[in-house]
Structure 1
Amino acid sequence: MGRAPGPRTPLLDRERITTTALQLVDEQGDFTVPQIARRLGTQAGSLYHHVEGRDGIVELLRERVAAVIDPATLDLAPWDTALEAWARSYRAAFAAHPKAIPLLMTSPVRAPRVLEQYERAVTVLLDAGFAAAEVMPLLIALENLVLGSALDLAAPETMWELIARTPTPRLAEALAAVGGRRADRAFEVGLAGLMNHARAMLAAP
């Protein structure tokens, strides 16, 4: 007997759905469930057997992007070394998918593995001696810096186009002096300022 013909398309699973959604986000900054279904050669209804609608796909995307953040950074000591290393790893993860940032940062975090990482970051700060009321403002400020810088990495190196009819000689001087790696240098300035502020908070009586 001959072999039975195989399925026309590979079986659906959460990994393939997430990969396709991330491809769409990388291309256009968003996705729809019908778009994912078309790319996978199936009907939108079939996807709902594997994911909890659009919100569920967003959380799968969050877990996929955040999966490359090195969790071992939060085991480093002292606390400020851990936080700086985590910030750099976090920035690199999101810099790989900058168009996902607006989508992920405007929806509530529900992904278990991502929540676990926040739990670890909060624990680092609490164990270092920060008051509970200080922890989330500090982490949110760090996240704002990290994600803004990840977007900056995706921007053109030349973000200021000087024109003759608007004389800006001092701006031109400053732009010429900054040289290459503008985004990296700006991130280091911001990170140093934030960390110095955090150390001062901890040292305050």
Structure 2
Amino acid sequence: MGRPRRPLLDLERITTTALAVVDELGDLSVPQIAKRLGVQTASVYHHVNGRDGIIELMRERVASGIDTEALVRGPWESGMAAWARSYRAAFAAHPRAIPLLMASPVRAPMILGQYERAVALLLDAGFALPDVMPVIIGLENLVLGSALDLAAPEAMWEVADAAATPRLAAALGAAPEGRADHAFELALAAYLAHVRGLAAEGRNVPATPDPGSPGAP
């Protein structure tokens, strides 16, 4: 009998299967993935570093859909906004993976490179170094919360008796379609307006002298 044309297992198949399991069940285990692939659990461990390694593969797969080109050109505000919209769309495709990814450290070089671009964009815009990660993490909180919201029903409030909650009923009736999209854009605009002030403050902070420079203490 000849050898198979391709290995029974590879990282691509493991990642695809893992995402399918998480999309369906909201969690995963290595035995579950092995069962779906029709192999022994030990065979999966031969390719990945256990459950944590599979989670990181899923993170890479989902994050590969994020467009980071805007982070290396143009003003910081438009760059961060474009990154946020692309980030949200990529994770909204797999909302049940978000809790797993949020509970595991980021290690993949490709993803760390995306953060490197975001940090460079903010530093070049004048943000003080201590403000950079809070700004990025705050944006991520907004993005991932909205990605989860996209998976929720359009009608999240069921008002059976409008007389009991008349203002809520009126507000729901006046709300435009695309609840999650409108809420995200509103929150993103508010975020950008707030952190704009941090950029201005950062530009007014005196630079720390280089220890090797003549003016350094």
2:154 is matched with 157
Please show how residues 39-50 of structure 1 align to structure 2 within 5 Å. 39-50=36-47
Unpaired stretches in structure 2, ≥5 consecutive residues: 205-217
SS at match of 1:134: helix
Change (3 A) 1:165 1:77: closer
> Aligned to 1:187, which of 176, 179, 184?
184
1:199 is matched with 196
Unpaired stretches in structure 1, ≥5 consecutive residues: none
SS at match of 1:99: helix
> In structure 2, how many angstroms separate the alpha carbons of the residues matched to 1:99 and 1:124?
30
Q: Are residue 177 (structure 1) and residue 168 (structure 2) matched?
A: no
Q: CA deviation at 1:188?
A: 0.5
> In structure 2, how many angstroms separate the alpha carbons of the residues matched to 1:72 and 1:6?
42
SS at match of 1:18: helix
> In structure 2, how many angstroms separate the alpha carbons of the residues matched to 1:69 and 1:88?
9
Question: Percent identity of the aligned residues?
Answer: 65
SS at match of 2:95: coil
> In structure 1, how many angstroms separate the alpha carbons of the residues matched to 2:121 and 2:163?
49
| TM-score (norm. length: structure 2) | 0.89
> In structure 2, how many angstroms separate the alpha carbons of the residues matched to 1:39 and 1:163?
43
Q: CA deviation at 1:48?
A: 1.2
> In structure 1, how many angstroms separate the alpha carbons of the residues matched to 2:163 and 2:24?
35
8 A contact 2:126–2:200 mirrored in 1: no
> In structure 1, how many angstroms separate the alpha carbons of the residues matched to 2:162 and 2:87?
41
Please show how residues 120-135 of structure 1 align to structure 2 within 5 Å. 120-135=117-132
8 A contact 2:22–2:28 mirrored in 1: yes
Amino acid at match of 2:89: A
Q: CA deviation at 1:81?
A: 0.9
Q: Which runs of 4+ in 1 moved over 4 A?
A: none
> Aligned to 1:70, which of 63, 67, 72?
67
SS at match of 2:14: helix
> Aligned to 2:141, which of 141, 144, 150?
144
> In structure 2, how many angstroms separate the alpha carbons of the residues matched to 1:160 and 1:16?
40
2:34 is matched with 37
Q: CA deviation at 1:118?
A: 0.8
SS at match of 1:142: helix
> In structure 1, how many angstroms separate the alpha carbons of the residues matched to 2:162 and 2:177?
26
Q: Deviations over 1:116-155 (max 9, x none)?
A: 1111111110111101110111111100000000111110
> Aligned to 1:89, which of 83, 86, 90?
86
2:112 is matched with 115
| TM-score (norm. length: structure 1) | 0.94
1:17 is matched with 14
> In structure 1, how many angstroms separate the alpha carbons of the residues matched to 2:95 and 2:182?
18
How well do the aligned residues superpose, as a CA RMSD in angstroms? 1.5
Amino acid at match of 2:26: G
How many residues are aligned here?
201
1:55 is matched with 52
